[in-house]
Amino acid sequence: MLQIYNTLSRTKEPFKPAQAGQVRMYVCGMTVYDFCHLGHARMLVSFDVVQRWLRASGLAVDYVRNITDIDDKIIRRAVETGRRIGEVTEFYIAAMHADERALGVDSPDREPRATQYVGEMLDIIGKLEQKGLAYQADDGDVNYAVRGFEGYGKLSGKTLDDLRAGERVAVGSAKRDPLDFVLWKSAKEEEPADTKWESPYGLGRPGWHIECSAMSKSLLGLPLDIHGGGPDLKFPHHENEIAQTEGAFGGVLANIWMHCGPLMVDSDKMSKSLGNFRTIRQTIAQGEPGADVADYRVNPREAEMVRFFIVRNHYRSPQNYTPDNLVDAQNALDRLYQALQNVAADDQGVDWNEPQAQAFKAAMDDDFNSSGAVAALFELASEANRGKSARSAGQLKALGGLLGLLQQDPATYFQSATRYSAAGMEQGARAELDAAAIQALIDARAAAKAARDFAAADRIRAELREAGIELDDKPGGLTQWRRA
C-alpha cells in the first residue's frame, strides 16, 4: 500500500482516499509576477511525479493547482512597467506554461486563478465574521482573529506563545493582536483601479491566504485527500489556510499535507528575495532567452537533465544546486540513454513481476521515493548493457516514463549539445559543430577507410573527439555520433 509522509502528523501514513479510487489533490501554485526559477521547478516536478504515480497506481486523480494573479508583488510589477495587472499576469502565466512544457510537467486537471473566486472568498470571510473569527479594523482591513482558532499552529508546530510580533507576522496598529492576518485588504487610493473589488467591507482585494481556501473548497470540496506545496508555505500560508477553512466550515481541510524540500544555494534557500536564483529558462534554453518572450527554444537534453536532477532526490530532502551537481546529473542521465542507444528497447510496457520493476514500485509506494526508483533504472541499464537485452531496455524506458524520463530518441538526445558535462563546462562558449558539419566529417572518414587511409580516418576521429563528438561504429558500416 502507498505510504505518504503527512506533515500534519509527522509520520508516514497508509494512503486511503476519502472516496475509494478517487484522489482530490490541491497544490499551491505560482504567484505570477516573474519567471520561474529552479526552486519553483523542484515543486512543479515533484508534484508532477506524485500525480503520475497516483494515476499509474490506478487512481482517478483530480489535480488542482492554482495561480495567484493578484498580489502586492504583481501590483508592484505592473506599476513599475506601466502595464495593466492582466497584462502582467498573462505574460508570466504563458512563461510558466512554457517552462512546464520544457520540463515535461503535465498540466493540472484544473488551474483556477484567484481573481475568478473573489465572491467565494468574501463568502468565507462572512462566515468567519459570523463566528467571531474575523473583524474589520479601523484601517478598513478585515483580519482573522488567530487566538480564536484553537488549533492554530498544529501544522507548523508553532504555538501562539512562540510567535512573537515582528518576526513572521507583520505588526499592524489597527489589529487587535499582532498575530492576526489579513483576509481582505482595504483599497489604497494610489493603487490601480483593476486591483479593487466591491465588497461589504468597501473597495479592496483579497489577502493571499484566503485565495486557496476558496479555490480548494469550491473545486474539490472537503476534505482534500492531499494538499501540497513548497517548503516555505507550511507557515504561515498553509497554517492560515487551515484556520480559515476549518474555522468557517468545521471538519478537516486536508487528510494529507505534503511539502517538497528546498533547493539550496550555499546553505540558503534559492529565492528571488535572496537574489540567489537561476531561472528555468536560463538553465535549459538554446542561446540566451530574451526577457520579453514568454516562449523560448528549449535544449531538450538539458531540460531532461534538470528534471532528472530533481527526480533523483527524494522530494522531501533538501537539494543543493551547483553547476557541478548539474554536470553529475547530466552524466548520469547520459548513462541511462547510452543503454537505450546500445540496445533497441521492446515496446511491451512494464512487467511488474520483474525484480527491478518490483523494486521501483516498492520505492514509489514508500512516500514517492523517486531516488530509490532511479536506482532500479540504473540496475536495468546495467542488465541491458550486459546481456544486450531488449526486454531490460524496454523495462528501463517504460519505468522511466512513469517519472517523465527517457522518452526521447537516444540518437537525437545525444546529438543535442549540452553545457552540463565536464567537457562542456571546460569548453565554455566555444562554437559547436552543427549536425551537417559532423556528418560531412563522418563521410570523409568513411571514404578514407574505404581507401585504406587509416591514418586520415584516425585523424578525423581525433578531430571530432576534440570537438566533443564521440563516434560509435555499428555493423554494416553505420556510424552513430553523440555529443560528449
User: Which set of grid coordinates corresponds to residue 364?
Assistant: 514509489
**227 carries a ligand binding annotation:** no
Rounded to whole angstroms, the Cα distance separating 400 from 394 reads: 10
Tell me the three state secondary structure of residue 284.
Answer: helix
Grid cell 511525479 is found at 49
User: Which set of grid coordinates corresponds to residue 302?
Assistant: 538539458
**272 carries a ligand binding annotation:** yes
Amino acid at residue number 238: H
Rounded to whole angstroms, the Cα distance separating 215 from 143 reads: 19
Q: With contact defined as beta carbons under 8 Å apart, do 247 and 133 qualify?
A: yes
Residue 423, CB half-sphere, CA atoms under 13 Å: how many? 12
Evaluate the omega torsion of the peptide bond into residue 200 and state whether it is cis, within 30 degrees of 0: no
Alpha helices by DSSP H, listed for 236-287, are 239-249, 280-284
The angle that helices 38-56 and 85-102 make with each other, rounded to 10 degrees, is 60
**260 carries a ligand binding annotation:** no
Residue 332 CB neighbour total at 10 angstroms:
16
Residue 455 CB neighbour total at 10 angstroms:
8
**28 carries a ligand binding annotation:** yes
Grid cell 522511466 is found at 400
DSSP assignments along 378-417, one per residue? HHHHHHHHHHT-HHHHHHHHHHHHHTT-S-S-HHHHHTS-
**73 carries a ligand binding annotation:** no
- Residue 314 backbone dihedrals phi, psi, to 5 degrees: -65, 140
User: Which set of grid coordinates corresponds to residue 325?
Assistant: 551537481
Binding site, annotated residues for ATP: 272
Binding site, annotated residues: 28, 212, 237, 241, 272
Binding site, annotated residues for Zn(2+): 28, 212, 237, 241
